[in-house]
Amino acid sequence: MKKTVAGIVALLLSAIATLHLPTNSRLELYEVGDLTYSMDGPSVDISLATRDPVEPILEVYLIFTGEDLVHRLRPLVPGAEELMQFQNGLLIVRGTAMQHLAVRAALLVHRVRNAAVFWSIDAISRAKAALSARLFGMITR
């Protein structure tokens, strides 16, 4: 058991250490429009209704401003204080391959969390609507 824990700790420490290894720095742009508010002015959201509209039971805002997203990601990417900025709906990161890997992982976690929360709220709202319709139908009979 002690060897397993020591192996896991060594693996985690080596993973953290690789984030600090000097490698060639490169610039990458990440499209984060689904995670940030757009300040471009009024826009129209056109979506095709594929399911019956159901009033959500809860409004959750999981979208950040661009600067909020940058401030959330900086602690996760060592050495990214001056290497990361938000501009024109894009997250601009100059860093090593491991820093870019950390940014991609953090963005994936945010997207998965948003999808899970929205899916849960939608499922609960649909269950509530179905239950209300069934109970109301039983009362009116």
Residue 86 lies in a domain: yes
Query: In which domain, by residue range, is 29 found?
Result: 24-40+55-140
pLDDT of 30 reads 93
Residue 50 lies in a domain: no
Residue 63 lies in a domain: yes
Instruction: Look at the chain and report how many structural domains it folds into.
Output: 1
Which pairs with CB-CB distance under 8 Å and at least 24 residues apart come from 97-100? 97/23, 97/24, 97/26, 98/18, 98/19, 98/21, 98/23, 99/19, 100/26, 100/28
Residue 17 lies in a domain: no
Closest CA to 62 of 129, 126, 120, 105: 120
Residue 5 lies in a domain: no
List, for residues 76-101, the tens digit of each pLDDT value: 777 666 788 888 888 998 888 888 88
**What average pLDDT values come out for the chain (141 residues) when binned by 10 residues?**
80 70 80 76 56 61 78 78 82 85 88 86 83 69 53
Residue 7 lies in a domain: no
